[in-house]
Amino acid sequence: MMQILLVDDHELFRAGMRSILEQREDIDILAEAANGEEAVEIYRRTPPDLVMMDVNMPGIGGIEATRKILRHDKDARVIAVTVLSDDPFPHQLLDAGASGYLSKGCPAEELFDAIDQVMRGDHYISNEVARKLTLANFSNRGAESHLSKLSPREMQVMMMITQGQSTQDISDSLFLSPKTISTYRHRLYEKLDVANDVELTHYAIRHGLLDKPQ
């Protein structure tokens, strides 16, 4: 049974998240916290398998709470959940050690995909967040990004490929045929000037979308 700590200052959102998560028989909500201080205290007392961490909260907030939890337990798994403002939170949360970053408006299927990937030891960044991160990186450098030319779906497929998912896995997750996924893959190769999945993964690492392997 996977035990999860829900952290959000809005009780209504926590109730909604709990309702969604408890649809899975392998998930148990260990505890809830309304702010970062409570989250850190609960984690130190009864460590969960995963923390779903709101970003904007009173007190120390999601960023500092994530840092404190990771300092206490370097193997902690934290998925940040945000309303996706224009503030530079994705960089800050990932720098703090978060394993994933999701929008509060994401569908339940993406939420469960993110949880499963993070529990396998991978990172998960939603397509929308990844796009914002990449465009921000290149905007700061004053250069035009090839990635800015990708459609949201192409970006999503790229992230799934570089996270090691097979064509069939991507096909099942996105409800598209394997042939369509292969078409997206070759379109990515052309637009990003890479020859295969290995080069595509190196491209993602180079531009900050994927962590370097340890």
Task: Identify each DSSP E strand in the chain by its residue range.
Answer: 2-7, 27-33, 50-54, 78-82, 100-103, 124-125
In this prediction, residue 142 has a pLDDT band, given cuts at 50, 70 and 90, of very low
Evaluate if residue 60 carries a pLDDT over 90.
no
Q: Within its chain, how far is the Cα of 128 from the centroid?
A: 10
Q: Can you give the length of the chain in residues?
A: 214
Q: What is the mean pLDDT of residues 57-71?
A: 87
Nearest to 9 by CA among 30, 29, 37: 37
Q: By three-state DSSP, how is residue 34 classified? A: coil
Domains annotated on the chain, with CATH: 2-125 (3.40.50.2300), 142-206 (1.10.10.10)
The pLDDT score that the predictor gives to residue 103 is 83
Q: Is 40 exposed, middle or buried (0-12, 13-18, 19+ CB in 10 A)?
A: buried
CA distances 93 to 54, 103, 123, 129, 207, Å, are 11, 13, 12, 12, 17
* Across 14-18, 101-105, 151-155, least confident range: 151-155
What is the average pLDDT score of the chain? 83
The pLDDT score that the predictor gives to residue 183 is 94
Q: What is the mean pLDDT of residues 54-68?
A: 86
